[in-house]
Amino acid sequence: MEATASRKLNCQICGRSFLPQNGVIGDNVRPSLAEFIKSQRPNWNPQEFICFGDLGAFRRDYVKHTLECEIGELTALDHEVIESLREHEVLTENIEKQFERKLTFGEHLSDKIAEFGGSWKFIITFGTVIAVWIVLNVLLLLNRSFDPYPFILLNLILSCLAALQAPVIMMSQNRAEARDRLRAENDYKVNLKAELEIRHLHEKIDHLLRGQYNRLFEIQQIQIELLEEISQRKRGSPRQQPPPPGNSPA
């Protein structure tokens, strides 16, 4: 058993030797991929061994050919998905953590300012400051007010605040759009890979079921042949004749 398990097999594509667990026999490859390999390698023999490395390369080329036939020219995202299928990589990523690592101090500060500027805290605080400003200049300070009606200094401060707040909010919105774009790209890659993997599983299950049906049909044929042989033997065996009446023992 150990000698059989340690015996190496030669790959019919690259010609190198591998252990049996590092590859498969050509008959175990699903039919659509086997046909593609046959079109690329006319000397492909389903009875021989092929390593997982060459099988993964053929699978990548087959998926690439299929996608090109279905959706046309492939994008960079499609090529990433194809390579992940070949390397058996996981595409799911935490976009939030990946995006947060790239932010600078100014970008973090603008996010905090935009978050505060779009909250009820800012509205209440700003309304309170304006009310106190008006009360101080109209009622308390009277003739010694630093910003008498119509509050030109207050209007200037409000204009400067609005002029600075708008770009900060736009910076934060641009980063939110970039984050959403990265998330959408990651979702597209994951969904495309899941669709290809599901299609691959369907083909593999159909291949296994077809093999089981063929084996069951062979077993049924063997059983029918055995039953026919048994029935022929019963027909060909002579029946036992009863003894004549005169020779019966006294």
- Give pLDDT tens digits for 94-103: 666 666 667 7
**The pLDDT of residue 51:** 85
Q: What is the pTM of this model?
A: 0.51
Concatenate the DSSP letters of all residues of 127-153 into one string.
Answer: HHHHHHHHHIIIIISGGG-SS-TTTHH
- 3-class secondary structure, 50: strand
Contact between 149 and 135 (Cβ < 8 Å)? no
Q: Is the pLDDT of residue 243 over 70?
A: no
**Which residues are CB-contacts of 148 (< 8 A; sequence separation ≥ 6)?**
137
Instruction: Tell me what the pLDDT averaged over the chain comes to.
Output: 77
Confidence of residue 165 (pLDDT cuts 50, 70, 90): confident
Q: Is the pLDDT of residue 5 over 60?
A: no
Of 12 and 86, more confident: 12
What are the tokens at 148? Answer: 């008498």
> Closest Cα to residue 197, out of 59, 103, 70, 8?
59
Contact between 74 and 67 (Cβ < 8 Å)? yes
**Which residues are CB-contacts of 118 (< 8 A; sequence separation ≥ 6)?**
169
Confidence of residue 201 (pLDDT cuts 50, 70, 90): confident
Q: Which residue has the tokens 């049906």?
A: 213
Q: What angle do CA 56, 61, 63 make, to 5 degrees?
A: 90
Neighbours of 12 (CB within 10 A): 19
DSSP 22: G
**Mean pLDDT of the region 196-217:** 73
